[in-house]
Structure 1
Amino acid sequence: LYFSKHPWIGLGIILLVSAIAGSQIDKLEVRISANEMLVQNNQEQEYYRQVRSLFGDEQISLLYLASDNLLARDKLEALKRSIAHLKKQPFVERVESLFSVPWVKTVDGYLDKKPYLDPDKLPDSPEQAQHILDEARKNPFLRNVLLSPDKDVMAVAIVLKKADVDNPAWNDETITNSLNGIAASLKPFYATSFSVGFPQVRTEIAERIRTEQMHLFPLAVAALLIALFLLLRQLIDILLPIMTAGFSILWTFGFMGATDIPINVVTSIIPILLIIVGSTEDIHLLSEFRHGQKSGLDAPASLKHMSRRMGGIVLLTFITTYLGFLSVGLSRIEVLWQFGLVASTGLALNFLATIILIPSVLSLAGKWQLDGKSRMYSGKSYLLAKRYWEWLWRHRLSIVIVFLVWTLVAIIGIPRIHINHNAIDSLGKDSEVRQKIELINQNLAGLESLSIIVDSGIEDTFLKVRYLEELEQIQKYIREKGWSESSTSFADYLSLLNGAFQELDEPMMPESDDIITELMIFLNHDDVKAYITQDYSHARILVRHSIESSEKLQAVIEDLQQFIDHNLDAGLEARITGDSVLTLSATNAMIRGQLQSIALLLVIIVLIIGVLFTELKVGLLAALPNFFPVIVMFGFMGYMEIPLNIGTTMAAAIAIGIAVDDTLHFMLRYNRELKARKNHNIAMEHSIYGEALPVVSTSIALIAGFLVFTQASFEPIVQFGALGALVIATALVADFVITPLAVSSLRLVTIWDVLSLRLRKNVLEKSALFKNLKPWQIRQFILSGRMVEYAKGDFVFRRSEVSTELFVLLTGKVDVCLPDQEGSCNLLEQFYPGDVFGDVALFANIPRKTDAVAVEHSTVLVLTREGIERTMRHRPLISARIFANLTADLSRRMIKLISKQQLKSRSGNPKKGGKS
């Protein structure tokens, strides 16, 4: 109302906030971090930090090379130049390849540790090259890691320095471009040559985010424009939602820049969400404004009508949607926390833009004539709403059965849902980086890894054969299960050393502790620091794997941990950790957190609606049309084999927060219509008629907007869009089927009705009707009636009227009299404030026998039989007390009336005296 009266102030505020936000946008950046997908500050992550401090922290990218004659001279010369180039890169710690990994063997009685390939003496013949390959494949640190055991594939491991965010030379994009350039220089020599690692994954994600923002943003705007044009057909009404969304996006970007929250794979969808979600309340406001104009009001009166009717509702629906977005951020995963904070803040900014911009612009331009093409508020539309409600009520039993069957079918599908969340899942199947990783998984051990840390707490433990065999036993179990093509440990290195020392064809574990003591003379701890601590009390088994499924990885880790618990020496403790374990932990935390968010959001919705309508059961019934779409969504995921991941878990919480808006709008509309029309069928018809345009408009706009996400290349975002559209579409059906049937059985009284009702406390508390009732209960009961003013001499009711109303006098005085044949009125009783009258005819269901006339200006509370019966159904305790009070009052009055008639009879017919 304020901004409709002062539009230029509103527009000035909009421009000022936009200028402030715009000054922060240059700080906004696209940033993809590995840690942002992990659970923050948990025990798993703290333990992994300790492991990295003990064994080192190596971030590796692979240079993948495939060709016939891998060790041909021309290929090796080119590879040698490339490795030299790699070593000069500022982000490279070291490079591991056949040129650097030692070939441990005995030469002339001495232990030789020269690399498999001597840079100064390359193999002269194919036979020599093949011999080197055969020997290298015996080395467990090379087999399936840098060399395929049965194919012409090898790799160069590029160990990256620890990331330095302040050094632009070390960012993901620079690393990716440099490595891709070096890999490209080898393509003339190798059939396949590429570089791949997690910097490349993050770079592709960042690049796709930039590309898709340019691609999806116009699609979202176009979808909203088309939906608004088809449904509203009014230029200002079409432009205003776009304007509020545009300003809120600008302000949100400014907030992200000021708080150093980056655009990442999740926060990148927020601008499009603001376009989609931000338009919903705009449509409701504009629809109510145009409805006022259609009713004959001018622009200022229509704005007042819009503000009075929609202000509180828009605030409530903003709160529920805000909580839906905020609930996503309850997770301890940084990227979800960022999304929840930014999305909810963006929604709050959109709410501010809406309540400032729409009344300001409508105040200036709302008086423009309508184009007359909208027919949504025509008589024909009302007739359709009437017929629809009659059909719905007539077939309510069949409809309830259909929905119950639908729900049951969905519930059966829920157990089929599986969990799968992996960084690679963010990329589409056509992703070049994903295809490269799949080649690594097929021909080598894979990029993913986990570590098994075995701790004795005693120095030199793992210099004894007995404990080295414990490591071997675990590795053997992993091989037998087929979980990994490469598991390496300190035991493998000692086996290599022992095989060379004893001039064996294959590596072999030392047979005694004495042999190990001799071998230690030739061991340099720097060669094995990734596998054993300096005091030899902690050992590490490094397992490289290609398991992409979160469920399978979970099963593998549980099986492996169970094996260790049952078979490991009692003096040792073992724990599984690593990037894969942290990712799995984050996945479980994310799924658990989002499911908890959905449950919490539903509880909050029930409580909000319960408080709003003063009864918890109203909140429970109102939750049905919002709980139903969630069940359908999860059932659909089960049947369609859509996994739970970062996108799909967000869809339910966000969509519920949005979908509940229409339920609230419908219920509050019905509450107003019921108070105005006093007939629940007519009230429901008008509710359906009044809400059809805004609910259908917002739902179609939301569905179209969510479907825009299906054009993304990130699989979780595609699934998020498809499931979001499914939830909104299902909620639309529920809002026009479940909501009307559920609401029609309720007597809706809002807390605003109760608090805003002006009562004559001194009158009502003394009234016999409300004896022993609390003020709150009195308010709830009398809201089923209406206040009527009567001037002096007005009839409250007349003799012979068939009435179903009961009256409570609030102010003034009323006489009830019995008319006679001469037209005069014999006074039966006078009623004063607090008295009840007219109750005999109400309960006897007969025409009235008396007249009731206001002796002076009077205010009367009129209670109908229908309203009283509804109160009986919904508030039985209050009704029981009311009827007890009515019975007592009626009995008292009847006795008083009989006594009065007896006195009159005696005074009119005195006993005759006479002789005895």
Structure 2
Amino acid sequence: MLNPLRLPPVAALLILVVMAIAPLVAAALSLTINNSAEAYVPPQSPAAVFERELRERFPGDEVLVAAFAGEQLYGDAFLERLEQVVAVMQQHPLVERVLAPETLDHISGSVDGFQVEPLLDSAIRTRLTPAERRARLQADRFAPGLLVSDDGELIALAVRPHELENSLQRLEVEGAFLDALGQVGINDALVALSGQTPLDAAQLRATLRDSLIFVPATLLIGLALIAWLFRRWLALIAALAVMHAAVGTALLTLVLLGQPFTLVTAILPPLMVSLSVALLLHLYNALALVERGSGRHAGVGAVEGAGAEAAVADVAATVARSRRVERAWEAIHRPALFTALTTAAGLISLSMSEIPPVHALGQAAAVGVLMLYLLVAWVLPAIFARWDRGGWARPGRGINVLDAPVAWLRRLGMRRPLWVLLVTVGLLAAGAPRIADVEVESDLFRFFKADHPITQSNQLLTEKLSGVTALEVVFEAPSRGAFKELEQLRQIQGFREWVAGRDEVDRVTTMVDVIEEMHWGFHAEDPTNRRLPERGDLIAQYLFIYDGNDLWELVDRDFQTTRVLLNLNINGARQINATIAAIEDYLQQQPLGELDFQTAGFGRLFGDQEQLLIEGQIRGLLLAAGLIFVLMLVIWRSLSAALLCMVPNLSPILVIFIVMGLFGIWLDLATAMIAGVAVGIAVDDTIHVYYGYRRRRRAGRSPVWALARTFQHAGRAVVATTLILSAQFLILGTSQFLPTMEFGLLTALGLVTALLFDLLVLPALVMVTAGAWFRRSTAPASSPTGGQTE
């Protein structure tokens, strides 16, 4: 039989040190940070493939929108400084274009027909009074809702970056913009900063802030409770090393999977710290129980002496330590293996999600759990056998204080099993209808509280300018020149009129708008001619003499592909999908002929997450339940035992969804991970308890005795692990970032619920099912030779 004590202590120590340092350093040097919408879409999905193809022909829709207010908005002093900011940002290597009064095309009438000139550059500005400048912006076809509010009280600009690779680049663009404002002295006039770039930067700051606060906090909580429970320096040092190894292994796995650090995978470090504590606690509790059961051997502690007597004493102490560790290892290594496998199964269920960060989280966490098992079960024993010189059993202190509440709950479940089960079923049945109230929705702005700057900025821009959710409808024709034809342009015009009438659409921009402006300018700015020409040859003439830039962001130069740009005042994925569905239904009913259409842009990518969340949640829960059930069958080799153990592990998921429905908590990117994580962790305690019960039943003990003895041995560790894990996750609940807060609170709820089911419902189930049908699964291997003792 394999024995971890055969591993040389020095080799074990070297392995632990290397694993605590090397993976973490490698991950820190290689891990990228990217929280953009593209990071959450499968790269081979139709939407992602089309998005990449579209960006080869047209600029992206990611922007940084800044709005300014003040009494002198249209004065020379402010506009000159704004022009300086535009010039600085135009030179930034990550910026593709800045949409501002001086860079936007303005079409007007001229002696020769129409002309295209800047909307308001320095040359034009000098000819106009502040009031005339304001009027020019407000009268322009494209500036209202983009560069100026309807009431003229806000002036805005939009910084459009090149295709960015990660969130750090978005943070750089935002920082460069704010620096430019500070250098020219108009930062005080800034009243709103929103769009995908600032939103991603805000999420990055929140994620990093939470990581810097909560990873050390969860680590310190774990170490503090281990210190209180066991009061062993070696236990603390070993725990710290194991935590570092687990976190490093998980993050390095993330790197090897080619996935970035996102707000989803930011859960990995505190999660791995918590799982480390849970597994370590069972080993430490076993060491304490072995020592308490056998009494402290003379020589286990430090021995004073000299010469041969000291040498003999030292050998005796080493043998005693080795025997203590070996007995503890024999007690926990099988359930530790089982819990590692079932926890990994629960976590790997997250990989059923097609959302890449959720998928990667499950795989990375599962690898981290398996590494934890190897270190705790096969590396630490040799270290403790060689260098652990203190005592573990301290009656009345530390972990022993948990015996009383464990015994009370166990007795209640054993003495009143039917009442316990009836009350439990009644409560779950009463709450079950609330599950239907759980809404699948994601809103990135909702991740922040109402008083957060990004939330307030988004609200102001939506009220005064237009919504920042970008959606594109792309029309493609089979032949070149199709969108010079009047018939096709009228199709675009009809769609524009229909979609502009929807409440959630604040702004619509099409190539038809540009042609209408040319026609209006050509006819001396006659308002009745702000429409499409009646003749196709006139359209071709306009397009031939057009010398501006903005048209080519709406149609390609072959006039075979055109896009309609929409600004939506909604931010939720479900709402966006409803708009997309309405657009598709409308267009499918139109006589488009050979025209094809697709939706694209940030709105489409983000909206796809809703369906991915639903499908991933269903597949993940089924996989988690299936894998854990199969593992239970393998572990217990009994259908009845496997079914019984599934009850305390699936019920907490039911409770979590009931609470989500009761309090209106959405199923989104953060909460979609909770079920897999909770069931993966909760199953650990069930295995430790039921393993001890079955072992004693097979030794011939009665159900009552087997339960009582099992809870006396494993119950304290079960409670201690849940207390520590819950405390660590509750700390996450203090976050100002909603995904972190909801994940922490709901996971803690699931763990506490699982504990109550293990301590109260599991004993009741065992007592009720300990009849002839169930007894077959735990039949003793041989008749007991003694009384009801161990």
Q: What's the TM-score bracket when you normalise by the shorter of the two chains?
A: 0.7 to 0.9
Q: Could you tell me which residue of structure 2 aligns to residue 308 of structure 1? A: 330
Name the SS for the 2:359 alignment partner.
Answer: helix
- Distance change (3 Å), C-alpha of 1:294 and 1:509: same
Matched, 1:541 2:564: yes
Shift of 1:25: 5.1
Mapped to 2, the partners of 1:383 and 1:147 lie a distance apart of 69
Cα 1:280–1:497 change in 2 (3 A) is same
Name the residue aligned to 1:445: 466
Alpha-carbon deviation of 1:514? 4.5
- C-alpha separation in 2, matches of 1:709 and 1:384: 26
Among 348, 366, 371, the residue aligned to 1:344: 366
Q: Shift in Å at residue 23 of structure 1?
A: 5.7
**What is the CA distance between 1:670 and its match in structure 2?**
0.8
Whose RCO is larger (CA < 8 A, sep 6+)?
2
Give matches, 1:116-515, under 5 Å.
Answer: 116-122=119-125, 123-136=127-140, 139=141, 141-163=142-164, 171-185=169-183, 188=186, 191-192=189-190, 195-232=193-230, 236-237=234-235, 239-253=237-251, 262-296=260-294, 298=297, 299-370=321-392, 372-374=394-396, 389-502=410-523, 503-505=525-527, 507-515=530-538
1:571: how far off? 4.1
Cross-structure match for 1:83: 86
Note closer, same or farther for the CA distance 1:610–1:748 as it changes in structure 2 (3 Å cut).
farther
2:70 to 55, 67, 76: 67
Residue of structure 2 aligned with 1:112, choices 115, 126, 131: 115
Distance 1:201 1:243 in 2: 36
Classify the secondary structure of the residue corresponding to 2:589. helix
Q: Deviations over 1:244-289 (max 9, x none)?
A: 2133334545656677654332333322212111111211122122
Q: CA deviation at 1:567?
A: 3.2
Q: Which moved more, 1:488-497 or 1:68-77?
A: 68-77
Q: How far, CA to CA, are the matches of 1:317 and 1:260 in structure 2?
A: 28
Cα distance in structure 2, aligned partners of 1:470 and 1:706? 55
Contact 1:21-1:251 at 8 Å conserved across structures = yes
Whether the 8 Å CA contact 2:656–2:746 is kept in 1: the answer is: yes
Q: Which runs of 5+ in 1 are unaligned?
A: 750-778, 790-861, 863-916
Amino acid at match of 1:10: A
Deviation of the 1:673 alpha carbon:
1.7
Residue 384 of structure 1 deviates from its aligned partner by 7.7
Structure 1 distance, partners of 2:398, 2:171, is: 53
- The farther-off stretch of 683-692 and 517-526 is 517-526
Query: 8 Å contact 1:324–1:601 — kept in the other structure?
Result: yes
| Bigger mean CA offset, 571-580 vs 174-183 | 571-580
Tell me the amino acid that sits aligned with residue 119 of structure 2: Y
Q: Mean Cα displacement is larger for which, 526-535 or 183-192?
A: 183-192
Greater C-alpha Rg: 1
Name the residue aligned to 1:795.
Answer: none
In structure 2, the partner of 1:706 is 729
Alpha carbons of 1:16 and 1:157: their partners in 2 closer, same or farther (altered >3 Å)? closer
130 and 399 in structure 1: CA distance in 2 versus 1, 3 angstrom threshold: same
**Residue type of the partner of 2:340?**
F
Contact in 2 for aligned 1:448/1:544 (Cα 8 Å): yes
Q: Cα distance, 1:499 vs. partner?
A: 1.6
Distance in structure 1 (CA, Å) of the matches to 2:185 and 2:429 = 57
1:184–1:193 contact (8 Å) kept in structure 2: no
What is the CA–CA distance in structure 2 between the aligned matches of 1:102 and 1:400, rounded to whole Å?
Answer: 73
Partner of 1:14: 16
CA deviation vs aligned residue, 1:460-491 (integer Å, no higher than 9, x gap) = 43333333232222222222221211111111
CA deviation profile, 1:570-590 (whole Å, cap 9, x unmatched) = 443322222211111134213
Q: Tell me: CA distance 1:237–1:559, structure 2 relative to 1, closer, same or farther (3 Å).
A: same
Secondary structure at 1:457's aligned position in 2?
coil
Q: Is 2:716 the counterpart of 1:693?
A: yes
Q: What SS class does the counterpart of residue 309 from structure 1 fall into?
A: helix
- Per-residue displacement from partner, 1:71-101 (whole Å, max 9, x unpaired)? 2222222222222222222233333222132
Displacement of 1:231: 4.2
Aligned residue for 2:294, secondary structure, equals: coil
Distance in structure 2 (CA, Å) of the matches to 1:569 and 1:257: 46
Distance 1:384 1:700 in 2: 13
Q: Which amino acid aligns with 2:425?
A: L
Q: Distance in 2 between matches of 1:616 and 1:781?
A: 8
- 1:93 aligned to which of 72, 91, 96: 96
| Contact kept? 2:511, 2:551, Cα under 8 Å | yes
Do the aligned partners of 1:420 and 1:550 also contact (CA within 8 Å) in 2?
A: yes
Which residue does the alignment assign to 1:884?
none
Partners in 2 of 1:781 and 1:719 — Cα distance?
Answer: 40
Q: Which of 43, 46, 49 is equivalent to 2:46?
A: 43
> Is 2:730–2:748's contact at 8 Å kept on the other side of the alignment?
yes
The Cα shift of 1:785 comes to 5.1
Percent identity between the two aligned chains: 19
- Asked if 1:786 is matched to 2:786, the reply is no
**What is aligned with 1:752?**
none
TM-score, structure 2 as length reference? 0.88
Do the aligned residues in 2 keep the contact of 1:328 with 1:597 (CA within 8 Å)? yes
| 2:576 counterpart SS class | helix
CA distance in 1, matches of 2:771, 2:39: 46
Tell me, in whole angstroms, the C-alpha distance in 1 between the residues paired with 2:197 and 2:49.
23
For residues 540 and 61 of structure 1, the distance between their equivalents in structure 2, rounded to whole angstroms, comes to 21
* 1:561 CA displacement: 1.5
1:410–1:634 contact (8 Å) kept in structure 2? no
Query: CA-to-partner distance for each residue in 1:870-911, whole Å, 9 max, x for gaps?
Result: xxxxxxxxxxxxxxxxxxxxxxxxxxxxxxxxxxxxxxxxxx
Q: Which amino acid aligns with 2:144?
A: R
Q: 1:283 to 1:782 in 2, by over 3 A?
A: closer
**Aligned pair in 2 of structure 1 residues 56, 131: CA closer, same or farther (>3 Å)?**
closer
Secondary structure of the structure 1 residue equivalent to 2:67: strand
* Matched residue type, 2:476: D
Distance 1:786 1:356 in 2: 31
Partner-residue secondary structure (3-state), 1:114: strand
Closer/same/farther in 2, CA of residues 591 and 748 from structure 1, 3 Å limit: farther
Amino acid at match of 1:396: P
Q: Secondary structure of 1:678's partner?
A: coil
Which residue of structure 2 lines up, in the alignment, with residue 728 of structure 1?
Answer: 751
Q: String of CA shifts for 1:687-728, please: whole Å, max 9, x gaps.
A: 222222011001111101111212333211111111100100
Is 1:604 the counterpart of 2:600? The answer is no
On the 8 A contact 2:120/2:133 being kept in 1, the answer is no
Q: 2-side partners of 1:382 and 1:677: how far apart?
A: 25
Query: After superposition, what is the alpha-carbon deviation per residue over 1:206-254, rounded to whole angstroms, capped at 9, x for unaligned?
Result: 3344433332123212322343345445555455433421333345456
Equivalent of 1:559 in 582, 591, 598: 582
**Number of matched residues?**
754
TM-superposed deviation, 1:319:
0.7
Change (3 A) 1:258 1:660: closer
- Aligned residues of 1:28 and 1:256 also touching (Cα < 8 A): no
Taking the aligned partners of 1:377 and 1:179, their CA distance within structure 2 comes to 55
Question: For residues 639 and 110 of structure 1, what CA distance do their matches in structure 2 show?
Answer: 65
Segment of structure 1 superposing worse, 64-73 or 317-326:
64-73
CA distances 1:425-461 after superposition (whole Å, capped 9, x unpaired): 4545454334333332222223221111223424443
Worse overlay, 223-232 or 482-491: 223-232
Structure 1 residues 434 and 712 mapped into 2: Cα distance closer, same or farther (>3 Å)? same
| 1:507-906 pair list within 5 angstroms | 507-524=530-547, 526-746=549-769, 783-784=779-780, 786=782
Whole-angstrom distance in 2 between the partners of 1:521 and 1:87: 28
Q: Which runs of 5+ in 2 are unaligned?
A: 298-320
Deviates more, 1:613-622 or 1:54-63: 54-63
Q: Distance in 2 between matches of 1:630 and 1:227?
A: 27
Change (3 A) 1:377 1:49: closer
* Cα distance change on mapping 1:781 and 1:481 into 2, 3 Å: closer
How far the C-alpha of 1:668 sits from its partner, in A, is 0.9
Secondary structure of the residue aligned to 1:321 is helix
